[in-house]
Amino acid sequence: MLPLTYWDIHDPRVLEAIRIVPRERFVPPELQQEAEEDRPLPIGQGQTISQPYIVAYMTEVLRVDSENRVLEIGTGSGYQAAVLSLVAKEVYSVERIGNLAMAARERLKTLGYGNIHVRHGDGSSGWPESAPFDRIMITAAVKSEPPALVEQLRPGGFMVFPQGGRRVQYLVRITKDAQGSCARESLVPVVFVPFVRGIL
């Protein structure tokens, strides 16, 4: 079983979501025995499922509440979306790799996560027809935040994403005020696969 507590994760809803989402269902069959380990694992197509601690940390610092509509860029296996779905009202998740998007959509449906919508598309474009979003999370490292995503963030909302190159990345949180101005803060060093535009 995954850890029930982390020393700096305090939101009980986040900890409960990490506890009950079956991570072994989001990894390839040959890696299911390793799913309870707190480390990233490969999921194919050059992508990874993040370690549970990072999923918990990003979810907590996004400050999600039960009335929030969340946009996630980078569905991957669907694990982060599943965790978000237990603390948010709705999750809209965009994946650029068609095979991963299709597999994640079917997996999440099978597991009963009815408030998650998965789209195969270019994450840099977001999901404009369902915007604005209360919270936005990017799960791949960007050089700078895509302008379309900032535009789709509701005033008063938060956006969290890793920023940097292959060697140095930091998790960044943007807070958008009522006038549409954004304040940035760097949180912790992280390692993510790079953000790529376009679709496969």
Look up 124 and say whether it is catalytic: no
Q: Strand 90-95 vs strand 116-120: parallel, antiparallel, or unpaired?
A: parallel
**Closest among 23, 135, 115, 30 to 77, alpha carbons compared:** 23
Alpha-carbon distance of 100 to 59, in angstroms, equals 21
Active-site entry in 50, 77, 85, 124: 50
**Closest among 161, 112, 109, 102 to 135, alpha carbons compared:** 161
Alpha-carbon torsion 172, 74, 2, 29, what sign? negative
Q: Which residues participate in catalysis according to the annotation?
A: 50
